[in-house]
Amino acid sequence: MDAPAQTRSPSPTPYWKNGQMVGTADAVVSVFDHGLLYGDGCFEGLRFYGRRPFRLDRHLQRLRRSLRALAIDIPYSEDDLAQAVADCIDHSGQDQGYLRILVTRGEGDLGLNPANCRSPSVFILASPLALVSDEARQQGITLITSSIKRMVGSGLDPRVKTLNYLHSILARAEANAAKVDEAILLNQFGQVAECSAENLFIFDGTHLLTPPLQDGALGGITRETVMELAVAEGIPCREQSLTGYDLYNARECFLCGSGARLIPVRAIDGRTLATCPGDVYLRVSGAFQALIAKACG
C-alpha cells in the first residue's frame, strides 16, 4: 500500500464548490444537474505530496482543453483553480493524497439541450488514497482482456476526460468476476486502448511501447511523464498500435495513472510475462519517484 498519509486536524469545510469552501452537507449537486443526469462534464484526478500538487499545471491545461471541447465555460482562471486546490489541500488535514477537480454543465431540465443549463458546477475535493498494495508493486498484478470495447479517436475524443466512465466500470466488473486485478479494453478493431483506469506500456525487448491516442487511449498526464522519463533514461519509447499478440509476447508490461502511479503486470489472460517487475519498469518507476521528490519534496 502507498505510504500512510500524515494527517493534521481536518477542516469542517473540506470541499470547494463554485468559489467557496463548504462542508459535506453542502458539497452536493441538484438532481437536475446534467453531470448526474447524462455524465455531461469532465474531471481531473491528481496526487499531492508534502501538501504540494504534482503536475498541477498540466492537469489544469488538460481540463481547459476538455472544457473547450465540450463547450463548457467556467468563470475561473487557472490561477483561481490553483488557489482552490491549495485551499482544499490545506483544509483536508492530509500531507499526501488525491485531488479531484470536477466540472458539470450544471443544472438544467430533463431534456438533453445544453442551452437549458444555466451555469456550470465546479467542485474540488481532497482525499486520502491508497490504491495499490506493497505486494502488488513487488509481485505485479494480473489482467484480463475485457469484452467491453473502447471508442476510438474518431468517436468521442479520448483526450477529453469525461464524467462518463461506464465502459471502464463494466470492464472492472469483468475483472472482479474473473478474480483478477484489472481489465484491458480493446477498440472495435481489436487494438489495445488502455485499462479501465490506467494507461498501458509494454517492453518488447527493444522499445517501450504504448497505444496511440487514436486507438482509444486517454492522453494521460502520467503516460506523458513516463514517455519523457524513458527518453531521459535512454530507453527507446514510442506510440504503436498493439494487439493481444504483442501483450502476450512482451518481456514486460506495466500500467500507469495519476492515482495508481506505476504498477508492474505479471500475467495477462493467464499468460505469465517474462519478467515482473522488469528492469525497464524499475528504471522508469525510480525516475518517477525521483521526479515526485524533486517537484514536491
What topology is assigned to 134-296 in CATH?
Answer: D-amino Acid Aminotransferase; Chain A, domain 2 (3.20.10)
Q: Which residue would you say has higher pLDDT here, 143 or 154?
A: 143
Q: Is residue 71 within 8 Å of residue 114, measured between CB atoms?
A: yes
How far apart are alpha carbons 110 and 127 in whole angstroms?
Answer: 32
Percentage of residues in the chain with pLDDT exceeding 70? 95
Split at pLDDT 50, 70, 90, the class of 276 is very high
Average pLDDT, the chain: 93
Closest to 14 in 3D by CA, of 96, 85, 78, 105:
85
Q: What is the pLDDT of residues 109-141, one digit of tens each?
A: 999 999 999 999 999 999 888 778 888 899 999
Split at pLDDT 50, 70, 90, the class of 7 is very low
pLDDT at residue 48 is higher than 90: yes
From-to residues of CATH 3.30.470.10 in the chain:
15-127
pLDDT at residue 56 is higher than 60: yes
Residue 290 has which C-alpha cell?
A: 525521483
Closest to 219 in 3D by CA, of 44, 28, 35, 13:
44
The whole-number average pLDDT for the span 226-238 is 98
Pair type for strands 141-150 and 182-187: parallel
How far apart are alpha carbons 235 and 280 in whole angstroms?
Answer: 8
Active site residue 294: no
Q: Residues 17, 161, 179, 294: which is the catalytic one? A: 161
Q: Given this model, what pLDDT does residue 6 score?
A: 43
Q: What is the pLDDT of residues 173-193, one digit of tens each?
A: 999 999 999 999 999 999 999
Q: Given this model, what pLDDT does residue 133 score?
A: 86
Q: Given this model, what pLDDT does residue 193 score?
A: 96
pTM: 0.91
What topology is assigned to 15-127 in CATH?
Answer: D-amino Acid Aminotransferase; Chain A, domain 1 (3.30.470)
Element (H, E) at 70: helix 56-70
The whole-number average pLDDT for the span 33-48 is 97
Q: Is residue 259 within 8 Å of residue 131, measured between CB atoms?
A: yes
From-to residues of CATH 3.20.10.10 in the chain:
134-296
